Amino acid sequence: MKKCIWTVLIGTAILLFISACGDNSNGGTADENAENEEPAVLEVEFDLPESAEAGETVELKATVTYGDELVEDADEVVFEHWEQGNEDDSTMVEATNNEDGTYTADVSFDEDGVYEMYAHTTAREMHTMPKKSITIGDGGSQESENGDESQDASGHEHGDHADGFSMDFAQSENVSSGKETDLTVQLQMDNEPLEEANVQYEITNDDLDIHEWAETDETEAGEYTGSYSFEEAGTYNMTIHVKNDDGLHEHEEHEIEVN
C-alpha cells in the first residue's frame, strides 16, 4: 500500500515539474511578457484634399489610433491653419468627435494661396501634431528666395511663442546613427528657468517609417534632457512639445542630420 502511495506522489511531482517547464518555455509569466511588449504609440492619419477653390468647403479629418486601437475619446483634437509664411496669424478650429476614432471639421479659405495646418491631437497622455498643406486656387508662393521664411539659419521653424516664453535647443553638430544622442532644451518664462514642465521630443522620418517619442528629465532648473538612438543616417524631423499645469502648450520644430 505504501509503495503505491509513493508511486502516485512521485508521478504527480513529475507531472508538476513538466508543467512548470512548459510554462517557462512559453516565454515566462504574463508580467514578464507585458514588460517585453513594445509600448503603443499615438498615431494620427490626417486627411485633406491637396487643392480646393477659394470659398469651397474643405473637410479636415483626423483618424486617431493608439497601437491597434481606434481612439474614440481623445482629450482634444484641434486643427490650426494659416497662410504659408504667416504662422503667427493662425486660426484654431475644434474638431467634432464622430465617436468612431475620426475627428472632423469643415473650413474654407477666402483667398488663393498655400495654407498649412496642424492636427493637434492629445490622447492617452500623449500629444502629436501631423502637418499638412493645401493649395487654394492658383496658390502663390509665400517663400523667400532662401526658402520658407518660418525657418531660420539653424534649420528649424517656429511661430511666435507665448509672451515671456523662450526655448533654446542645443543642436548637436555631429549625430551618428546607432548611438545614443543627448537632446537638451532650455526653457525660460519671463527670463527665469521654467521648471516642472512636461517636455517630449517627437521624432519622425517618413522615408524610414519612424514615428517615436523620447521622454526627458529636468537635469537642471529649466533644462530638460532626453536621449535617442537614430537608427540610420538621414534627415529626421523633431518637434519639441512643452506643456505645464498652468496651461502652457508650446512646440518648436527642428531638422536633425544624422551621419
Q: What is the pLDDT of residues 49-104, one digit of tens each?
A: 999 999 999 999 999 999 899 999 999 999 999 998 888 788 999 999 999 999 99
Is the domain spanning 42-136 CATH 2.70.180.20? The answer is: no
CATH number (2.60.40.10, 1.20.1050.10, 3.40.47.10, 3.40.309.10) of 157-258 reads 2.60.40.10
Cell of 127: 500629444
The letter for the amino acid at 43 is E
Domain with CATH 2.60.40.10 in the chain: 157-258
Answer whether residue 113 shows pLDDT above 80.
Answer: yes
User: What is the percent of the chain where pLDDT is above 90?
Assistant: 49
User: What is the percent of the chain where pLDDT is above 70?
Assistant: 77
Mean pLDDT of all residues in 11-30: 53
Rg (alpha carbons) of the chain, rounded to whole number: 25
Q: Is residue 36 helix, strand or coil?
A: helix
Domain with CATH 2.60.40.730 in the chain: 42-136
Distance of CA 100 to CAs 49, 119, 131, Å?
21, 17, 22
Mean pLDDT of all residues in 204-214: 89
